[in-house]
């Protein structure tokens, strides 16, 4: 459980690369996420190229931290493989697993949303030449953290209801 409490969104990175074996570990963990009816509609685009990072920063205003990061992963979902309308839930589980695995390997990461923003989705589809059935879901920026900010305490017991809404 500690890894869940240690994970935080990181927006400043060192120049240290993400080791290929660590990236494989992160993707393996992502692929271990549950999906509706085990359809596994996810796929990934790994992006290390700095020129592509610049293009991503131009189309995603909230992803400027990619300019200082060594790696990113784009989680996409295949609309032809998904069970019913569960693509967002499936890809969210995959994204969260990747974030936790990055933390476990000593990296910082941040989840930048794509899905649900038509303009952003269209721009990613164009940039990566995605077929019609492939929906860009999230951008995960990964690297060694250059900040010392502690994880936020998300504990809010007042948000817990027992048995019924009170």
pLDDT (tens digit per residue) in 124-143: 999 999 999 999 999 999 99
Residue 112 belongs to a domain: yes
Q: How many domains does one find in the chain?
A: 1
pLDDT score of 7: 94
Is 150 a member of any domain?
Answer: no
Is the confidence at residue 1, as pLDDT, over 80? no
On whether residue 158 sits in a domain, the answer given is no
Task: For residue 81, give its domain range.
Answer: 2-145
In-domain check, residue 154: no
> Per the domain annotation, does 138 fall within a domain?
yes
Residue 49 lies in a domain: yes
Question: Does some domain include residue 59?
Answer: yes
Q: What's the pTM?
A: 0.95
pLDDT band of residue 3 (cuts 50, 70, 90) is confident
Q: pLDDT tier at 43 (50, 70, 90 boundaries)?
A: very high
What would the DSSP string read from start to end of the chain?
A: -HHHHH--B---B-SPPPPHHHHHHHHHHHHTS--GGG---EEEEEE--HHHHHHHHHH-TT-GGGGG-SEEEEEEEETTTSSTT-HHHHHHHHHHHHHHHHHHTT-EEEEEE-TT-HHHHHHHHHHTT--TTEEEEEEEEEE-B---PPPP----GGG---SS--
Instruction: Tell me, yes or no, whether 151 lies in a domain.
Output: no
Per-residue pLDDT at 61: 97
What CATH code is carried by the domain that includes residue 33?
3.40.109.10
pLDDT in tens, 65-80: 999 999 999 999 999 9
């Amino acid at each position: 459980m500690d890894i869940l409490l240690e994970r935080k969104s990181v927006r400043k990175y060192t120049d240290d690369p993400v080791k290929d074996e660590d990236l494989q570990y992160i993707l393996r963990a992502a692929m271990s996420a549950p999906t509706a009816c085990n359809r596994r509609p996810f796929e990934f685009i790994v992006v290390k190229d700095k020129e592509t990072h610049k293009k991503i920063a131009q189309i995603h205003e909230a992803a400027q931290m990619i300019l200082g990061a060594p790696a990113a992963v784009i989680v996409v979902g295949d609309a032809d493989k998904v069970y019913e309308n569960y693509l967002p839930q499936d890809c969210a589980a995959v994204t969260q697993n990747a974030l936790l695995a990055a933390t476990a390997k000593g990296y910082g990461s941040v989840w930048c949303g794509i899905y649900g923003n038509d303009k952003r989705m269209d721009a990613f589809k164009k940039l990566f030449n995605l077929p019609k059935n492939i929906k860009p879901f999230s951008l995960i920026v990964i690297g060694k953290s250059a900040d010392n900010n502690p994880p936020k305490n998300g504990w809010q017991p007042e948000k817990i209801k027992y048995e019924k809404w009170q």
